[in-house]
A and B are shown apart, each in its own frame.
Chain A
Amino acid sequence: MASKKRENTPSKELLEKLFTTAYRIRNFETEGIKLYRRGLVRGYFHPYLGQEGIATGACAALDERDYIASTHRGHGHCIAQGAEVEGMIAELLQKETGYCKGYGGSMHIADITKNNLGANGIVGASTPLGVGAAMANQVNGSDAVTVAFSTDGATNNGTFLESLNLAAIWDLNFILIVENNQYAVSTTLAEATRETELYKRGEAIGVESHRIDGNDSLLVYETVADAVKKCRAGLGPILIEAVTFRHSGHHVNDPGKYMPEDKLKYYKDRDPVDRARDNLINMGKMSAKDVKAIEAKIEAEFEAAVKAAEAAGEVSIEEFREFVEGY
Chain B
Amino acid sequence: MAGREIMYREALREALFEEMGRDESIFIIGEGIAERGGSYKVTEGLLAEYGPTRIRDTPISEAGMIGVGVGAAIAGARPIVEILYVDFAMLGMDMIVNQAAKFRLMTGGRGRVPFVLRTQGGTGGGVAAQHSQSLEALFYHIPGLRVVMPSTPADAKGLLKYALRQEDPVMFIEHKHLYMTKGEVPEGELITEFGVADIKREGTDVTLIAWSNMIPRTLQAAEELAEMGISAEVLDPRTLVPLDRVAILKSVAKTNRCVIVQEAVRRGGVASDISSIIQEEAFYSLDAPVQIVAGMNTPIPFNLTLEEASVPQKNDIIAAVQSVLHHKAA
Chain A residues within CB distance 8 Å of chain B: 67, 69, 98-104, 108, 110, 112-113, 115, 117-118, 120-122, 125, 127-133, 135-140, 146, 158-159, 161-163, 165-166, 169-170, 323-324, 326-327
Contact = CB atoms under 8 A, between A and B. Distances in A.
Contacts of B110: 99-100, 112-113
B103 A102 contact: no
19 contacts: A67-B75, A98-B108, A104-B106, A110-B111, A115-B75, A117-B71, A117-B75, A125-B99, A128-B68, A128-B70, A132-B67, A132-B69, A133-B74, A135-B79, A139-B27, A165-B59, A166-B61, A166-B65, A324-B143
Interface residues of B, number: 41
A163 B107 contact: no
B98 interface: yes
Contacts of B68: 128, 131-132, 135, 163, 166
Contacts of B69: 132
A154 to B, nearest CB: 12
B116 to A, nearest CB: 14
Contacts of B130: none
B309 interface: no
A99 B108 CA distance: 7
Given A115-B75, A136-B76, A326-B242, 14 more contacts: A67-B75, A110-B111, A121-B98, A128-B63, A128-B70, A129-B71, A139-B53, A140-B77, A158-B63, A162-B67, A163-B64, A165-B61, A326-B195, A327-B144
B72 A125 contact: no
B94 interface: yes
B95 interface: yes
A133 B94 CA distance: 18
Interface centre among B24, B68, B72 (most CB of A within 10 A): B68
A104 B70 contact: no
A112 B74 CA distance: 10
Nearest to A107: B106
A162 B63 contact: yes
B321 interface: no
B109 A323 contact: yes
Contact of A118 (B54, B63, B111): B111
A98 B68 CA distance: 27
A309 B68 CA distance: 35
Contacts of B323: none
Interface in B35-84: 53-54, 56, 58-59, 61, 63-77, 79
Nearest to B58: A166
Contacts of B180: none
A132 B70 contact: yes
Interface centre among A125, A135, A158 (most CB of B within 10 A): A135
Contacts of B322: none
